[in-house]
Each structure stands twice: as C-alpha cells, then as structure tokens.
C-alpha cells in the first residue's frame, strides 16, 4: 500500500465525512489504487459531487517538515441534485504543465465546494418539502384542536357511555411488533382505549373490568395506560388517566378496555390518589393486560403494592379474580396479606397473578377488599 494513496483517500474521506457513514468494506475498498505522481490532477467523487485537486506529494518525508497546504479543489456540479453517500473513487490524468513543489509537502484535506446552482436547487427542494410538511402538520394540528380541547391527552370522563361506542383506532401509535409488548394500544388519542360504560351494555365489549366496591366511604378510582401521553413509561404519574371516577360505597362500575391494552387502576379513600415523591400513584395497583398481541392474545392481571411500599405509604385492600383464580392484598390480624400478588420483595419475580387464555374476558376488581 502506498502512503500517498492512503493520504489522498483520507483527505477525500475527511472532506466528505463519508468514513463514518459508509460500511467497513466501502471505507477500505479504494486503498490500493496505483501511486499518483507530483503534478497529476486527482479526481474524486465525494457525496455524489466530482471534485479535483493537484497532487503535491511524491511519497517521501525527508527533513521532518510538516505538510504544506494543498490548493482548495475546484468543484464540478453533480448530475444529480441529491448528495448520495458513496465511497471515494479516483481517476487520474497527466498535467502537461510543470508543478514545482516541495518534496516534503503533503496534501491537506480538501474542502470541496459545490456549485451554487446545485446548492440552491437542493435547498429550494428541501425548503419546499419542509414548508409542505409544516403545512400538513399545521392542518393536522388544527383538525385535532377542532375535535378536542384537551391537550393533556387525558379523556373526558364526565359521562358513562350508555350505548355501544367503538374504541378509537390505535394503529398510528404503534411502532414495531417488538415494541407492542411495551407500548401496546394507548389509543389514537391517548386514553381513548378505555371507557366507562353502563352495566346494560357491558356484554357488547370483549374486554372489561367490573369494579365492585367493598368501600365504606367514597373512593377515587383512576385507570391509565402504562405508557403515558408522550410515549414515555410514565402513564401512572399523577395527572395521567384514561378514566377516573368516584366509587360510592357498595357501587359497581364497568370499564371497557380495547384489545392489546396494558395499564393499571389505582384506588384510594377520598377524592385523590396518594403519590410518591416523584408524582407516581402510590396506592395499591390493579395491573391489567388485555389480549396482548406480542403474547399471542393472552391476557393477564395482578394486584401490586410495590409502589405503595416503596413510598412508605399504606396499601389498600384489593382483589381481582378470573375463572376461580385470584390475586389479593388485604389487611390481616398480623399485617398486610399478599396472596398471588406483588409486594416490594417480589418485584423481580415472574409468574404471579392471573394468566388468561386468548379470548374475551371480564375481570372483577374489588376495591376496599377485606376478609
């Protein structure tokens, strides 16, 4: 390998920054071209642009002097307006004029300049595209604002649905199949994958939660998605909710949930849910996973007091059951009883809770549970 070839290639690579973007094979594909003589004009195609400069290096390095700067190359416009990333390729031609140079000079990295017509054309195209995209986004934003005045992403849960209403579509919120296990269905408008419904239409929905109160006073109930309105794993932070309601003593409330939804319900006495120092709901949780597409349509549920214990707060009694299998937390004579449920000590364990075969299912959730 000739050192002048290496330096010329590195100079071209440095000018285009192609080395960091091309594949390993392409970065090394042109290291073995024949040597260039002093005075030869070297051409290189860099990012789709043909550039050239005069070789001033003869391959020697006597005297220990540092390289002198090579003249800046003159650019020739590319036939294509796009700057496609390509490895540098070379052509040579003999320069008939004498080019006196120092035997100790190296070429510096050339800084190719593109023709103004090419630049202006490219910038104009990009600007038009950008303006078009901005216009589309603005129109989408206007449409969104026209359909809803809620910017937080939380649903308006003032009314319980009393006639069958389809869920919103969630396709545009999904990323890849591999991510569905974490993102799942959060609704095209965040939170619309959950609805409060009346008991007389509950049979029209495949996946639902029947909230039953053993409470002696009004309780606040909040249900949310694991993934928050901005796509982060913060759906259970205060202010994020898909549905919320007050459960009167002994009352029952149905919640319809769309398939492939993962979330929690938190409940506590009074008109608010306690939160930890970070703003996360720190009461007992009911965790649900309906028809998970990344798990062949299986569903699951459990009761968890991990957040409450981590925050040093009281865990409320709660129980969920399906097909005779239950997950339960309640206050016993000797302290909190945790049966097939998660406490802080079991936070890393698997296999706890309910595993439900694919198909429609109704989960019963008892809040304020005691024995």
Q: Tell me which residue of 10, 197, 180 sits closest to 107, measured CA to CA.
A: 10
Structural contact between residues 82 and 48, judged by C-beta atoms closer than 8 angstroms? yes
Residue 127, helix vs strand vs coil: helix
Q: Tell me which residue of 241, 246, 247, 336 sits closest to 281, measured CA to CA.
A: 241
* pLDDT level of residue 161 (50, 70, 90 thresholds): confident
Cα atoms in the Cβ-side hemisphere of radius 13 Å centred on 131? 5
Residue 252, helix vs strand vs coil: strand
Q: Span 69-74, mean pLDDT? A: 48
User: Residue 175 above 70 pLDDT?
Assistant: no
Of 79-83, 110-114, 187-191, 361-365, give the range with the top mean pLDDT.
361-365
Q: Which residues, in sequence order, are bridge partners of residue 335?
A: 332
Residue 258, helix vs strand vs coil: coil
Q: First-to-last CA distance in the chain?
A: 83
| Residues in Cβ contact with 137 at an 8 Å cutoff, skipping those fewer than 6 apart | none
* Digit-coded pLDDT (tens) for 104-145: 333 444 444 443 443 444 444 444 444 444 444 444 444 444
User: Residue 350 above 70 pLDDT?
Assistant: yes
Q: Tell me which residue of 251, 250, 230 sits closest to 240, measured CA to CA.
A: 230
The confidence score (pLDDT) of residue 85 equals: 41
Tokens of 205: 């929905």
* Beta-strand relationship, 285-290 and 261-269: antiparallel
Q: Which residue has the tokens 């939170």?
A: 191
Q: How far apart are CA 353 and CA 298, in angstroms?
A: 13
User: Residue 334 above 90 pLDDT?
Assistant: no
Higher pLDDT, 164 or 117: 164
Higher pLDDT, 84 or 19: 84
CA torsion through residues 31, 34, 37, 40, sign: negative
Q: How far apart are CA 27 and CA 205, in angstroms?
A: 58
The confidence score (pLDDT) of residue 89 equals: 41
* Digit-coded pLDDT (tens) for 275-298: 999 999 999 999 999 999 999 999
Sketch out the chain's domains with CATH numbers. 1-114 (no CATH), 171-367 (2.60.110.10)
Among 15-24, 175-184, 201-210, 354-363, where is mean pLDDT lowest? 15-24
Q: Span 55-77, mean pLDDT? A: 49
User: Residue 259 above 50 pLDDT?
Assistant: yes
Query: SS3 string of 16-28?
Result: HCCCCCCCHHHHC
The percent of residues above 90 in pLDDT, for the chain, comes to 42
Q: What CA–CA distances, in Å, run from 231 to 168, 182, 186? A: 17, 10, 9
The distance from CA 262 to its chain's CA centroid, rounded to whole angstroms, is 16
Angle at 185 between CA 181 and CA 188, to 5 degrees: 145
The confidence score (pLDDT) of residue 40 equals: 66
Structural contact between residues 73 and 110, judged by C-beta atoms closer than 8 angstroms? yes
Percent helix, percent strand, percent coil in the chain, to nearest 5: 20, 30, 55
Structural contact between residues 27 and 87, judged by C-beta atoms closer than 8 angstroms? yes
* Digit-coded pLDDT (tens) for 76-107: 444 444 444 444 443 444 444 444 443 333 34
What DSSP designation does 362 have?
A: E
Q: How far apart are CA 12 and CA 9, in angstroms?
A: 5
Q: How far apart are CA 275 and CA 187, in angstroms?
A: 25
Arithmetic mean of pLDDT over the chain: 70
| Residues in Cβ contact with 138 at an 8 Å cutoff, skipping those fewer than 6 apart | none
User: Residue 23 above 80 pLDDT?
Assistant: no
Q: What is the CA radius of gyration of the chain?
A: 33
Q: Which helix (H) or strand (E) holds 290?
A: strand 285-290
The percent of residues above 70 in pLDDT, for the chain, comes to 52
The confidence score (pLDDT) of residue 22 equals: 33
Cα atoms in the Cβ-side hemisphere of radius 13 Å centred on 137? 6
């Amino acid at each position: 390998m000739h050192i002048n070839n290496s330096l010329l290639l590195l100079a071209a690579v440095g000018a285009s920054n192609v080395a960091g973007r091309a594949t390993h094979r392409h970065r090394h594909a042109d290291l073995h071209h024949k040597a260039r003589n002093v005075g030869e004009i070297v051409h290189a195609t860099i990012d789709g642009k043909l550039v050239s400069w005069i070789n001033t290096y003869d391959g020697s390095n006597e005297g220990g002097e540092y390289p002198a700067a090579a003249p800046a190359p003159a650019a020739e416009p590319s036939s294509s307006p796009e700057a496609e990333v390509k490895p540098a390729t070379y052509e040579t031609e003999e320069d008939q004029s004498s080019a006196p140079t120092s035997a100790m000079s190296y070429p510096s990295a050339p800084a190719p300049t593109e023709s103004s017509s090419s630049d202006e054309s490219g910038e104009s195209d990009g600007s038009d595209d950008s303006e078009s995209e901005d216009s589309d986004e603005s129109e989408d934003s206007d449409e969104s604002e026209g359909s809803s005045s809620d910017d937080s992403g939380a649903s308006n849960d003032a009314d319980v649905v009393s006639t069958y209403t389809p869920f919103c579509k969630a396709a545009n919120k999904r990323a890849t199949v591999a991510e569905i296990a974490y993102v799942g269905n959060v609704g095209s408008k965040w939170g619309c994958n959950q609805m409060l419904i009346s008991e007389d239409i509950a049979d029209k929905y495949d996946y639902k939660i029947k909230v039953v109160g053993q409470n002696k006073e009004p309780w606040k109930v909040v249900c949310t998605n694991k993934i928050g309105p901005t796509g982060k794993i913060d759906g259970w932070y205060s202010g994020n909710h898909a549905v919320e309601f007050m459960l009167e003593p002994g009352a029952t409330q149905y919640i319809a949930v769309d398939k492939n939804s993962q979330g929690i319900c938190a409940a506590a006495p009074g008109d608010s849910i306690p939160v930890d120092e970070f703003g996360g709901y720190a009461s007992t949780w009911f965790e649900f996973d309906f028809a998970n597409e990344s798990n062949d349509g299986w569903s699951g549920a459990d009761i968890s007091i991990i957040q409450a214990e981590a925050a040093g707060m009281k865990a409320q009694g709660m129980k969920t059951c399906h097909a005779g299998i239950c997950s339960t937390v309640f206050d016993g004579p000797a302290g909190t009883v945790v049966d097939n449920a998660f406490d802080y000590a079991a936070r890393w364990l698997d296999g706890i809770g309910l595993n439900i075969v694919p198909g429609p299912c109704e989960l019963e959730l008892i809040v304020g549970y005691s024995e």
